[in-house]
Amino acid sequence: MSLSAEALQKRIHTPILYRDVVDSTNDLATEWLKSGAVHGSAVIADEQRKGRGRLGRMWYTPPGVALALSIILKPHADQLGSIGIAGAVSVAMMCAGLGLEGVSLKWPNDVRINGKKVCGILPEAVWQGDQLLGVILGIGVNVRVQFRDELALTATSLVTEIGHDLDRADLAADLIRRVIGWCAQAGSDALFEQWRSSLDTIGKQVVVGDVQGVALDVERSGALLVQQQDGSVQRVFAGDVMLREG
C-alpha cells in the first residue's frame, strides 16, 4: 500500500509534510521547525536516503516497506530527556495495541520484538542560542522490510511478526497520536514507570563502551546504572548496550 499526503491527512489532523524521497526526515523537520511548524507537526517519507541513526550511524529506509517519521515537539527544556523515552513507549504500545507479544525496549530506546530490533529512535534538540526551539523525534519502524542472513538474527519487521500486512498510514497516524499524548506527560512518573517496566536490559549482564557489569536500574535522567565487578556503580548516559543473554 502506498503512502501519500492524502492517506495520512485523512487519518490525522495534525499538519503533515509528506515526501516520496528525502535525505533525512529529521533534517526536513528541523527546517520546518525553524520556519514555524507547530507542536505535533510531522514529516513522513516513503524513502529516506541519508537517514541518520544513533551514534553517527546511517539509517537507510527503502521505499514501500518502512516508516521514516519525524515529529516536531515543543517540550520544556527540563523535559528534554523524556522525549526519546516518550517515543519508545509510544512505539511499544502501538505494537502491543496491534496484538503483538514479546515487545520490549533495549536501553535507551530501541524497540524490540522477541529480542529483535523493529524500531530505532533519534531525538534531536534544536536550539537558537540558549533558547530551545523544539525537539525532532525521529522514528524509523521496519514495517515489511525482509531481513536476510545475519541481519535476520537481530532485526525484524512488524509484518513478519504479526503475520499479515499493515497499512503504514494507519500506523503513522496511531503513532503520532500516541507520541503527542506521551509528550504531554514528559517528566511524569507514569511515563518513567512505563519505560522502566518495558526495559529488557535491567538485571542483565551488559557491556556499554568501557563499562561492563550488571544493569541495575535506570534513573529519571535516562541514565543506566551499571554495577561493575568491583562493586562500583557507573552511570551511563549514551552508548550501545551489548546484552549478555542468559
Give residues in contact with ligand BTN (CB under 6 A). 24-26, 48, 51-54, 57, 59, 61, 68-70, 110, 120-122, 138-140
The Cα–Cα gap between 242 and 37 comes to 38
Cβ of residue 54: shortest distance to ligand BTN, in angstroms? 4
Q: Of 115 and 227, which CB lies nearer to ligand BTN in the complex structure?
A: 115
Q: Of 60 and 127, which CB lies nearer to ligand BTN in the complex structure?
A: 60
DSSP 62-110: -TTSEEEEEEEE---GGGGGGHHHHHHHHHHHHHHHTT--SEEEETTTE
The Cα–Cα gap between 85 and 89 comes to 6
Q: Which residue is nearest to ligand BTN (CB)?
A: 120
Q: Of 175 and 213, which CB lies nearer to ligand BTN in the complex structure?
A: 175
Q: Of 25 and 157, which CB lies nearer to ligand BTN in the complex structure?
A: 25
Cβ of residue 59: shortest distance to ligand BTN, in angstroms? 4
Cβ of residue 29: shortest distance to ligand BTN, in angstroms? 8
Cβ of residue 227: shortest distance to ligand BTN, in angstroms? 26
3-state secondary structure of 165: coil
C-alpha cell at 189: 512518573
